[in-house]
Amino acid sequence: MEFLRDNANVIALAVSGLGLLFALYRMRWVLTQDAGNERMQKIALAIQKGAQAFLRREYRAVSILVVVVSVVLVALSFIPGSRMSAWTAVAFVAGALASGVAGYVGMYTAVRANVRTAQAASKSLNGGLRVAFTSGTVMGTIVVSLALLGVSGLFILFSNLLPPLEAVSALAGFGFGGTSIAIFARVGGGIYTKAADVGADLVGKTEAGIPEDDPRNPATIADNVGDNVGDVAGMGSDLFESYASSIIAAITLAALGSGLSPDKTLVGQVFPILVAAVGLIIGIGSTFLVTTKEGATQEMLLGSLRRGVYGASLLVAAAVVVLGLIFDLGWGVILATLSGLVGGVLIGYFTEYFTADSYSPTRALSISAQGGAGIVVIRGMALGMFSTVAPVLIVVIVTLLATAASGLYGVAVAAVGMLATLGITLATDAYGPVADNAGGIAEMARMDKTVRQRTDALDSLGNTTAATGKGFAIGSAAMTALALNAAFITALQGANGSGLNILMIDVLDARFITGLFLGAVLPYLFSALAMLAVGRAAQEIVKEVRRQFSEISGILEGVAEPDYERCVGISTDSAIRQMILPGIIAVVTPVALAFLAVVGRDNVIGQFVGTNTLVGMLIGALVSAFMLAVMMANAGGAWDNAKKYIEAGNYGGKGSDAHKAAVVGDTVGDPFKDTAGPSLNILLKLLAIVALVIAPLLANTPLV
């Protein structure tokens, strides 16, 4: 036990290294697969170039942000009396770098796995599944490995260099760095992916009358790139941050002694790191449980993915019990961690229940499509609103149990538990767009019909896992944000030297109420901006496609090649330009409130803004964003699947009035589930982590 405790970070470093090696090994395996004929490779190359172009521009923009923020962080540490450490900036850069590399490698693999999946699917279904899922495994493993590497490495460094408060606040910089990538990849990527999708459809299907994934459409490559940008890089960076931040929150709470007896302070910091390390190894092992055989039904395919996820969950649960007992942390901590693990699985289940066409909610939505577009939209909104109840109850029960079992520390380890199986969960998730792209390539390269059937089966499975993954991402974001808020408020107390572990606030204080309202309105503002951005970016693509159709003669006849790259470039630029405003709002709000709280210490400003305003804002945003995100994600997922259910031949099938109505629902749902909804995950974590990073600045500010 003492060996484990004293060497936990070294062990975690070693495990991360192992994970990285495994990721590289699986990546190599993917790259050595047959990449198909020349035509396929040409299409794949266009997607690769497009993805590369997006990442290049994103990273260029992000690097400006990273430099600016780093300078600000260093400057803040030099304010007289500031207890922020300049090391925060180092952690920040490391977090951005780690998340950036993870996204790059994951995308690099995914856009090469797509064509290889198509080729393997021309031989067998299992072959296709293996290539696509292995590509997902690379993403899942590298995200987890780099996050763990960063947290454990910096923890070794900071705990030797800095006093506890400064150390944990600097460590939070790593999560902040991850978010700065996430906001570009998830928000910018979300705008990009839907703008390309909508733009391609509007001008291609509607105006030119050519089918989806047709190589004559100049925006078709942008659309394919978008799948990877949103669901591989975006989802990966989102969960990178949840994963890193939940561990950081647990370490912070343990270090500041919240919810643990004083003699457990040290093991309390070690426990979440080891849970993550064990989870990483188990995640790697359980990827081998995912196989299927030829002619597998949808249920069998889903079953094989579930085997992986559930198997990993069971093993991690056992490991949590063992680790808890070894460290003598008591059943409270064990129970708290397990409640998070179970909660994550349950949220995934309910998400599936509300969005999969095998259950009654989505079936009823399909039926309602017969009543017309208006009815199906109303019904879908009602479904989305109704579906918020289950995840809220799950989060609430997990929080109540975890807190009763081991205080605020319990909430943080519950988040760690929920995310402990991230390696495999993310693998099932990142697999989807690869299968989707494979289908697109099969179509564009005019491959045999059986290939498209097989990739369609894989893709349809990907839609289910994508919906579940979104539910999981929101749920874990909420738990992480709650843990970060707890860490922030605890740090605040530490900074104030009040020695309290709770923050008593007058709930009727107008400044607190103001904070709640401001926090609650932020997700609405953020979503509105994201949805408007999709519309604007799509318009730019439409304009460009129209220009190409009219200026480059022979495109529609298939003799001249469209300029794919320009479409990619235009939607990339537009997406990145339009995520700046929401991004700034998210970063500036907590900083501005903190600034006003400090400035207003001794004057009239203090009557209107206080630290309680900042606290209220964090809580208001958490609650409001969670509801809105679940509603949008589930309504979007249900509309998508209701449309597909009709396309499968129900209620009139493709081309019927019901189908046309369902298409409207799906159009509304796209920015809901792929842009605005996921963006809110980033928003709520960003607000919380920024607050934690600047917590030491609020030293000596009255708390109420």
Smallest gap from Cβ 608 to a copy of itself, in A, equals 5
Per CB under 8 A, does 335 bind a copy of itself? no
Task: Determine the Cα–Cα distance for residues 575 and 195; give it in Å rounded to an integer.
Answer: 8
Which residue, 127 or 384, is less far from a copy of itself as judged by CB?
384
Angstrom distance (rounded) from CA 685 to CA 238: 9
Q: Supply the minimum distance, in Å, between the C-beta of residue 704 and a copy of itself.
A: 8
Measure Cα distances from 358 to 129, 299, 304, 500, 561 in Å: 22, 10, 17, 51, 42
- The residue count for binding a copy of itself (CB under 8 A) is 75
> Is residue 507 involved in binding a copy of itself (CB under 8 A)?
yes
- The candidate with the shortest Cα–Cα distance to 640, out of 367, 365, 443, 378, is 365
Tokens representing 267 are 């093991």
408 lies in the site for a copy of itself, by CB under 8 A = yes
Confirm or reject binding of residue 318 to a copy of itself (CB under 8 A). no
Round to whole Å and give the CA distance between 686 and 442: 39
CB contact burial 426-453 (16+ within 10 A = b; e otherwise): bbbbbbbbbbbbbbbbbbbbebeeebbe
C-alpha 425/C-alpha 435 separation (Å) is 16
Q: CA 198: distance to chain centroid?
A: 22
535 binds a copy of itself (CB under 8 A): yes
Are 136 and 426 in contact, with CB atoms under 8 Å apart? yes
> Which of these ranges, 150-158, 331-339, 523-531, 641-649, lies near a copy of itself under the rule CB under 8 A?
523-531
What is the DSSP code (8-state) at residue 673? I
**What tokens were used for 279?**
């989870």
> In the Cβ-directed half-sphere of 619, how many Cα atoms lie within 13 Å?
15
Choose one: 82-90, 227-235, 401-409, 689-697; the region binding a copy of itself (CB under 8 A): 401-409
Q: Which of 10, 528, 592, 648 binds a copy of itself (CB under 8 A)?
A: 528
Q: What residues numbered 593-622 form the site for a copy of itself, per CB under 8 A? A: 607-608, 615, 619-620
Q: Decide: is 489 part of the binding site for a copy of itself (CB under 8 A).
A: yes
Which residues, numbered 409-428, are part of the site for a copy of itself (CB under 8 A)?
Answer: 411
Q: Which residues contact 429 (CB under 8 A, 6 or more apart)?
A: 136, 140, 231, 235, 465, 466, 468, 469
Strands (E) in 164-227, as ranges, are: none
- Smallest distance from a copy of itself to CB 54, Å: 23
Interface pick for a copy of itself out of 239, 434, 486, 683 (rule CB under 8 A): 486
Should residue 503 be labelled a site residue for a copy of itself when binding is judged by CB under 8 A?
A: yes
What is the rounded CA–CA span in Å between residue 302 and residue 297? 9
Give residues 168-227 in contact with a copy of itself (rule: CB under 8 A). 202, 206
Interface pick for a copy of itself out of 269, 399, 548, 611 (rule CB under 8 A): 399
**Binding segment (CB under 8 A) for a copy of itself, from list 21-29, 57-65, 220-228, 398-406:** 398-406
Rg of the Cα trace of the chain? 24
Angle between helices 265-286 and 422-444 in degrees, nearest 10: 30
- Binding part of the chain for a copy of itself, among 46-54, 113-121, 123-131, 366-374 by CB under 8 A, reads 366-374
Rule CB under 8 A: is residue 585 a binding residue for a copy of itself?
no
Nearer to a copy of itself, 314 or 521 (CB): 521
Here's the x/- map for a copy of itself, 647-686, by CB under 8 A: it reads as: ----------------xx-xxx--x---------------
Supply 446's token pair. Answer: 């005019």
Contact by Cβ (8 Å): 674, 194? yes
- Return the range that interacts with a copy of itself (CB under 8 A); candidates 24-32, 74-82, 261-269, 378-386: 378-386
User: What residue has token string 């950081």?
Assistant: 248
Q: Does 400 help bind a copy of itself (rule: CB under 8 A)?
A: yes
* 588 binding a copy of itself? (CB under 8 A): no
Nearer to a copy of itself, 316 or 663 (CB): 663
Shortest Cβ 530–a copy of itself spacing (Å): 8
Q: Does 702 bind a copy of itself (CB under 8 A)?
A: no
Task: Name the residue nearer to a copy of itself (CB basis): 59 or 386.
Answer: 386
Q: Which residue number, 286 or 681, has a Cβ lying nearer to a copy of itself?
A: 681
Q: Name which of residues 453 to 482 contact a copy of itself (CB under 8 A).
A: 482
Q: Does 326 bind a copy of itself (CB under 8 A)?
A: no
- Give Cα 507 distance to the centre of its chain: 32
